[in-house]
């Protein structure tokens, strides 16, 4: 299972990537999603987050990206991330809340 420090580091890098908006995050999206799915693979309670990340990866790598599908996936990831924050460790809880809000906000930009 992932360590808290690796989760915290990935949270930081994801929030940094998203701080410039979706256009700024596009280049790092594939690697970032892969890192998250790897991190979450041993967390059965977060299977729904991992599944939605894989869905987003499929959408982004399809070659014919549908903005409404991306928005729907980001909205769902925002909701799932915010829900996961409720049971997170204290050192990641605030960052997860921030990430959930950022993903939900990004969904409205499409």
Give me the number of domains the chain comprises: 1
The pTM of this model reads: 0.90
In a domain, 23, yes or no: no
In a domain, 53, yes or no: yes
In a domain, 24, yes or no: no
Report the b/e string of 59-94 with b at 16+ CB within 10 A.
Answer: bbeeeeeeeebbbbbbbbbbebbbebbeebeeebee
pLDDT digits (tens, 9 = 90+) for 2-57: 556 688 899 999 999 898 888 778 778 889 999 999 999 889 999 999 999 999 99
In a domain, 17, yes or no: no
- Integer-rounded Cα radius of gyration of the chain: 13
In a domain, 18, yes or no: no
Domain residues for the domain of 85 are: 4-12+29-107
In a domain, 19, yes or no: no
Task: Please name the residue ranges forming H helices in 2-109.
Answer: 4-18, 21-25, 29-40, 47-60, 67-85, 90-107
DSSP 8-state secondary structure symbol assigned to residue 28: G
In a domain, 20, yes or no: no
The Cα–Cα gap between 23 and 32 comes to: 14
């Amino acid at each position: 299972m992932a360590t808290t420090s690796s989760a915290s580091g990935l949270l930081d890098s994801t929030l940094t990537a998203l701080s410039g908006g979706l256009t700024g995050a596009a280049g790092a999206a594939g690697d970032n999603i892969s890192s998250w799915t790897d991190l979450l693979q041993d967390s059965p309670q977060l299977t729904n987050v991992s599944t939605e990340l894989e869905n987003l990866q499929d959408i982004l790598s399809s070659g014919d990206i549908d903005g409404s599908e991306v928005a729907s996936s980001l909205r769902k990831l925002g909701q799932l991330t915010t829900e996961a924050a409720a049971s997170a460790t204290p050192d990641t809880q605030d960052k997860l809340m921030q990430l959930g809000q950022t993903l939900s906000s990004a969904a409205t930009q499409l």
